[in-house]
């Protein structure tokens, strides 16, 4: 069952949900607006899912960074987000989708116990300038049924965009 905005805010206050930094003005009826961090990763050329990828890094300055079509970018949330109690789901803002920015097209599920800055997949259909700290999407929190176990995988404790890692496909 999805938590309401009031339940999310109460769970943050009770330390059942981590959103750091937390800004109450970014609450929605069933989600919280997360923002874009300042780091990007991208790869050039043909990517091979069987091999490690060499990633380039860029810092998004205050003037922004222009994303271009045909390029996959990895970014991260500016916030540390997660919970030992709830499952997270991150999606992009529909208003940015209408500008041709696709955020989190895959891998929107965050397991219980994963508390970190989330890696975001970004693609655009036309050049688009992004600014660090801009609202990029919403995170919602879901209760689980049954006995839960916390996530302990390699992506669970990061603060920057995590690149593709071939053994994760095994």
Give the residue numbers annotated as catalytic, written as ranges: 121
> The tokens of 108 are what?
């929107």
Burial label for 119, CB within 10 Å (0-12, 13-18, 19+), is buried
81, 19 Cβ separation under 8 angstroms: yes
109-110, strands of its sheet edge to edge: 32-35, 135-142, 87-92, 109-110
Question: 């209760």: which residue's tokens?
Answer: 143
DSSP state for residue 22 in the 8-state scheme? -
**Calpha distance 19→5 (Å, rounded):** 13
Burial label for 82, CB within 10 Å (0-12, 13-18, 19+), is buried
Using alpha carbons only, what angle is made at residue 91 by residues 51 and 133, rounded to the nearest 5 degrees? 90
């Amino acid at each position: 069952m999805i938590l309401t905005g009031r339940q999310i805010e109460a769970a943050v206050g009770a330390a059942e949900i981590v959103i750091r930094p937390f800004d109450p003005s970014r609450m929605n009826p069933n989600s919280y607006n997360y923002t874009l961090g300042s780091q990007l990763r991208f790869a050039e050329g043909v990517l091979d899912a069987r091999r490690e990828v060499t990633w380039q890094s860029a810092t998004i300055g205050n003037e922004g960074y222009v994303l271009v079509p045909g390029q996959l970018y990895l970014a991260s949330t500016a916030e540390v987000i997660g919970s030992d109690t709830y499952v997270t789901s991150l999606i992009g803002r529909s208003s940015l989708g209408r500008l041709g920015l696709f955020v989190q097209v895959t891998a929107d599920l965050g397991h219980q116990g994963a508390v970190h800055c989330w890696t975001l997949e970004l693609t655009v259909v036309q050049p688009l300038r992004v600014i660090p700290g801009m609202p990029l999407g919403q995170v919602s929190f879901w209760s689980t049924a049954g006995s839960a176990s916390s996530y302990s995988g390699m992506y669970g404790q990061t603060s920057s965009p995590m690149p593709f890692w071939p053994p994760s496909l095994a």
